[in-house]
Amino acid sequence: MTAERPQVAAAACTDASAARTIVIVGAGQAGGWAARTLRAEGFTGRVVLVGDEPHPPHERPPLSKAVLSGTAPPESTHLLKPEAFAALGLDWRPGAQVLRIDRAARQVVLADGAVVPYEKLILCTGGRARRLTLPGADRVPLHTLRTIGDAAALAPVLAPGRSIVVVGGGWIGLEVAATARQRGADAVVVETQGRLCERTVPAEISDHLLALHRAQGVRVLLGAGVNGFATGGDGRPVVQLADGSALACDAIVLGIGLVPNDELARAAGLACDGGVLVDAQCHSSDPDILAAGDVAVAANPWAGRRLRLESWQNAQEQGIAAARSALGRAVDYQPLPWFWSDQYGMNLQIYGMPGAAHRVVRRGDPASGSFVLFYLAGDVVQAAIGPNAARDLRFARRLIEQHKPVDAERLADPGTPLSRL
């Protein structure tokens, strides 16, 4: 008798979970990881993964790099191969859009009229590329780069003898410019701010990026406003600048940031502030609805404020955390932000959030193309950033996470291995 009891309990538990349904909205990177994790954690209930793109969950970083340059096929970005859906028992709904969340009835309503009930709902709706509403914006083709389709549309223009104007000197804009140059196309980057990637990196890194792009033949215009768009006499698109000059080209690419897809959440009455507000367990203001990835806003102890992380690392790790949290596992997701960018073979990485109040310690010579800037509060490293310094940055990450005081002189000395600190 006593030996049977645990078996009965286990069977009852399995039956109960089989009746459960977890719906994931958005089949991008975060959604893909959430679905995969539910199964990895032993969830045997129904998992419905609704994505409005026709593709399986995939990673986007290669879309501005290897896929755009034609050195990798779009399929190489897929997180889950088609056969994995059956193997994992996922109810994947490609090309399906969730129109509405009915919190009272605990169900989502799809554009095709289907209604899917949920016990837990995970929002992984990401974001979309920001557009411009300047004069002429509706009369010339304006490329953006967010999806596989976007990369496919832009790739043919990146060829010798062709030219692009990139509006926006942030990460996407710079990666597109780099890929264009590597493919032999001309590229102009128009940035309204006084330096590149101003929102995310310190001035020394902006200068490094500027020098790199100029050395590769990119014309970079800083502090340059865009007034509108037009079609030239030869039918080519034209970017009209605030100083009265005009740039004719074969394609205009907007790289001006992301708009979080939080409309579903807002319409459902969830607390939002530039994205869906979540806690360290990925719960929104409704405990049965979680959010992860580019759409989620959370307090981040490393930044000392709430933020929305737009990064590969966060999409994966928060997708995993949300799935575990939906299953009632202990979760405390407070990541040290990590971001990287690849341009012309240069790999730049950032750990943490470099701040104006930090003391900066430089290790290595910028002229060599490989160096690290450490950001310290007192003697403790809070953030680090650097090009072509992956090994040092791995150690930097440990220093940041360990909160250990360091000797700034030794930190600055490339002869002292960081492992000794």
Binding site for ligand FAD (CB under 6 A): 25-31, 50-53, 60-61, 63-64, 97-98, 124-127, 145-146, 172, 261, 264, 293-294, 310-313, 315, 339-341
CA distance 261 to 266: 10
Number of C-beta neighbours around residue 201 at 10 A = 23
CB of 65 to ligand FAD, least distance (A): 7
Please give the Cα distance from 196 to 341 (Å, whole number). Answer: 13
Which residue lies nearer to ligand FAD by CB, 21 or 125?
A: 125
Taking the complex as a whole, the smallest distance from the CB of residue 218 to ligand FAD amounts, in Å, to: 18
Residue (255 or 364) nearer to ligand FAD, CB: 255
Please choose, from the candidates 224, 228, 63, the residue with its C-alpha nearest in 3D space to the C-alpha of residue 152. Answer: 63
Q: Phi first, then psi: what are they for 199, rounded to 5°?
A: -70, -25
Q: What is the largest CA-CA distance in the chain?
A: 89
Q: Using CA atoms, how far apart are residues 257 and 291, in angstroms rounded to an integer?
A: 20
**Shortest Å, Cβ 137 to ligand FAD:** 20
Tell me which DSSP letter residue 400 carries.
H
Closer CB to ligand FAD, residue 240 or residue 317? 317
Residue type, 236: R
The distance of closest approach from Cβ of residue 216 to ligand FAD in the complex, given in angstroms and rounded to an integer, is 18
Tell me how far, at minimum, the Cβ of 339 lies from ligand FAD, in Å: 5
Q: How many alpha carbons lie under 13 Å from residue 50 in its C-beta half-sphere?
A: 27
As measured in angstroms, the least distance from the Cβ of 227 to ligand FAD is 27
How far, in Å, are 63, 72, 133 from residue 67 at the CA level?
5, 5, 29
- Token output for 28: 């991008």
User: Which two three-digit tokens encode residue 286?
Assistant: 């409704």
Residue number with CB closer to ligand FAD (27 or 383) = 27
Residue nearest to ligand FAD (CB): 28
- φ, ψ (nearest 5 deg) of residue 62: -70, -15
**Smaller CB distance to ligand FAD: residue 186 or 294?**
294
Rounded Cα distance between 205 and 220, Å, is 15
Nearer to ligand FAD, 32 or 202 (CB): 32
State the nearest-atom distance from the C-beta of 126 to ligand FAD, in Å: 2
Of residues 41 and 52, the one with the C-beta less far from ligand FAD: 52
348 contact partners, CB below 8 Å, separation of at least 6: 205, 209, 340, 341, 342, 385, 386, 387, 388
CB 139 within 8 Å of CB 133: no
Nearer to ligand FAD, 82 or 232 (CB): 82
Residue number with CB closer to ligand FAD (179 or 206): 179
Token representation of residue 400:
């940041």
CB of 73 to ligand FAD, least distance (A): 16
Q: How far is the CB of 313 from ligand FAD (least distance, A)?
A: 6
The DSSP secondary structure of 288-312, one letter per residue, reads TEEE-GGGEEEEETTTTEEE---SH
CB of 342 to ligand FAD, least distance (A): 6
Judged by beta carbon, residue 25 or residue 226, the one nearer ligand FAD is 25
- Collapse the DSSP code of 61 into the 3-class scheme (helix H, G, I; strand E, B; otherwise coil) and give the result: helix
Q: How far apart are CA 109 and CA 75, in angstroms?
A: 29
